[in-house]
Amino acid sequence: MTTWSRLIRFVDVENVTRFGQPILKDEDLTVDQLLDLGVLEANVIEGDVLSEEAIVTDKVVQVKHLLAPLEVAQVPIIKCIGLNYKAHIAEGGRSPPPFPSVFIKPSHSLADAYEDLPIPPVAHDTLDYEVELAIIIGKTGKDIPVDQVGDYIAGFTASNDISNRKWQIDPNFAGGAAQWCFSKGFDKFAPIGPAIVSTKILGTRPCLDLKTKVNGELRQDSNSADMLFHVPELVAFASQGTTLEKGTVILTGTPAGVAMGMKDPLYLKNGDLMEVSISQIGKIANRIVFQ
C-alpha cells in the first residue's frame, strides 16, 4: 500500500521537478482545478513513490506546472485493453469479446498531462482520441487472484489512448488483421495525469465519469460502470503467466463517442485541443501538433 493518497509530479515555483502529495483545500476540486485557481500546493515526497518506503514530508511547496504523475523511466510497459465498454463495442458493430483483448504501447508512448503531442507524418490521417481510466501497478506480481488485485494497485489516473485508425483497421495498411500495437504505439500517444488517486480513496471498482472534449465540443460522456470487464478482472487476466512489473500502466478501454464510430468521422487535425477528464481524478489537455 502506498504512503500517499494522491500523487502528482510537478514543477514548483522555483522550477524544480518534484513528486508530491497535493493538498486539497477543497475536496470537491481536482488538482488541475486548484492549479487553475493558483492555489495548488503539495507535500514533497522523497524516495521511490511506488514503494512503501516513500516518505510524505512536511515540506510544502507551490505547484507551478503539472506533469505526468510518473516518468517514462518508471513505466516498464503500457498494457491496454480494447473493446471494453459495451456502448463502444456497439458503435463499432462488434460483438463483446469472451475475454479481455490485450495489446501494448511502449513506455515512450507516455506523455505529460499538458504537453503538445508531436504527430509523425506516418500518423497524420485518421487520428483519434480515447479517454481511458488507467490503472497504475504498485507492486510486481504474477498470476494475481481477483480477490488480491487491490494489493497490487497503487491507484488510478486519466489517460488518452491516441490512435491512428488507418494503421489499425484499414486492410490497405494494416493487412487482413487489425494492427493495434503499431497504430497506437507512437511516441507520446499516451498522455496521463494529472494525478494518481490511490485505492484508499477509489477502491478497486471505481464508478467514475469519463469525458472527452475536442476544441471545447463534448465527444465522449460515459461512466466506468459501462465496462465489460472491470479492474480486478482485467488485472487478474493480464497477469496470467505474465509478470506485471511495478510501474506498469494498464489502460482499461474507452467508452462510445470516438471519431471512428461517427457516420462522418471527425478525426483530429493539426492544432486540435483534446481535453479528457475523469471524475475525482481530474483533466488533462493536449494539443495535436503535426510534424
| pLDDT value, residue 228 | 95
Per domain, the residue ranges of the chain are 6-67, 72-290
Alpha helices per DSSP H over 141-244 = 165-169, 171-174, 180-184, 199-202, 231-238
| pLDDT value, residue 188 | 98
d(CA 286, CA 158): 13
CA atoms lying within 13 Å on the CB side of residue 41? 11
Contacts of range 212-218, beta carbons closer than 8 Å, 24 or more positions apart: 212/129, 212/130, 212/131, 212/160, 212/257, 212/274, 212/275, 212/276, 213/274, 213/275, 213/276, 214/129, 214/266, 214/268, 214/272, 214/273, 214/274, 214/275, 215/272, 215/273, 216/273
Closest alpha carbon to 256 in 82, 85, 80, 81: 85
Strand partners, 60: 43
In this structure, which topology does domain 72-290 adopt according to CATH?
Fumarylacetoacetate hydrolase; domain 2 (3.90.850)
Using CA atoms, how far residue 185 sits from 15, 89, 214, 242, in Å, is 31, 21, 21, 20
The model carries a pTM of: 0.97
pLDDT tens track, the chain, 291 positions: 789 999 999 999 999 999 999 999 888 999 999 999 999 999 999 999 999 999 999 999 999 999 999 999 999 999 999 999 999 888 878 889 999 999 999 999 999 999 999 999 999 999 999 999 999 999 999 999 999 999 999 999 999 999 999 999 999 999 998 899 999 999 999 999 999 999 999 999 999 999 999 999 999 999 999 999 999 999 999 999 999 999 999 999 999 999 999 999 999 999 999 999 999 999 999 999 999
**Other Cβ atoms closer than 10 A to 147:** 10
